[in-house]
A and B are shown apart, each in its own frame.
Chain A
Amino acid sequence: MARAILYDSTLCVGCRECEKACSEGKKLPYNEKVAAEETVSSHKLTAVRTHGERFSRKLCMHCLDPACASVCPVAALEKTAAGPVVYHPERCMGCRYCMVACVYQVPSYQWEARLPLIQKCDMCADRTAPDAVTRCSEACSFEATITGERHELVEIARKRMAEKPNDYYPKIYGIEEVGGTSVLVIAGVPFEQLGYPSSVAKAALPNYTWAALQYVPDIAVVGAVLLGGIHWITHRREEVSRVEGAAAGREVPQ
Chain B
Amino acid sequence: MSATSRFHFWRTVFWLVMAAGVVAGFQRFYYGLGASTNLSDRFPWGIWIGFDLLCGVGLAAGGFTLAATVHLFNIKAYEPVVRPAILTAFLGYLLVVVALMFDLGRPYRIWHPLVMWNPRSVMFEVGWCVMLYTTVLFLEFLPVVLERFKLHTAKRLLQGIMLPIVIAGVILSTLHQSSLGSLYLIVPNRMHPLWYTPWLPVLFYLSAIGVGMAMTIFESWHSARAFKRHLEIKLVRGMTRVLVVVIAVYFALRGMDMLQRKAYTALFEPGYERWLFLLEVALMAGPMILFWFDWSRKSPRTIYLGSVAFILGFVTNRLNIGLTSFERVTGVNYFPSWQEVAITLMMIGLGFAIFRFAASHLPIFESHEEEETQARGGEPGVPVLASTPGD
Contact = CB atoms under 8 A, between A and B. Distances in A.
Contacts of A93: 104-107, 109-110, 112-113
Interface string A66-106: 01001111111000000000000001111111011101010
A71 B377 CA distance: 49
Interface stretch (B65-73, B211-219, B239-247, B354-362): B65-73
Given A93-B104, A96-B45, A103 B124 contact: no
A105 B332 CA distance: 13
Contacts, number: 181
A95 B123 contact: yes
Given A231-B163, A235-B381, A73 B113 contact: yes
A5 interface: no
B390 interface: no
Interface string B95-125: 0000000011111011011001110111111
A200 B380 contact: no
Nearest to B183: A97
Contacts of A75: 116-118, 121
A219 interface: yes
B123 A71 contact: yes
B345 interface: no
A94 B105 CA distance: 4
Contacts of A231: 71-72, 74, 163, 167, 381, 383
Interface in A122-162: none
A101 B3 CA distance: 49
A101 B123 CA distance: 12
Contacts of A252: none
Contacts of A116: 32-33, 105-106
B56 to A, nearest CB: 16
Given A219-B174, A224-B167, A200 B189 contact: yes
A200 B187 CA distance: 10
5 contacts: A70-B121, A74-B112, A93-B106, A95-B105, A97-B123
Interface of B: 29-35, 39-42, 44-45, 68, 71-74, 103-107, 109-110, 112-113, 116-118, 120-125, 127, 163, 167-168, 170-171, 174-175, 178-179, 182-183, 185-190, 198, 201, 326, 330, 377, 380-381, 383
Given A41-B41, A115-B106, 9 more contacts: A74-B113, A93-B106, A94-B107, A103-B187, A112-B35, A114-B29, A116-B105, A201-B188, A241-B380
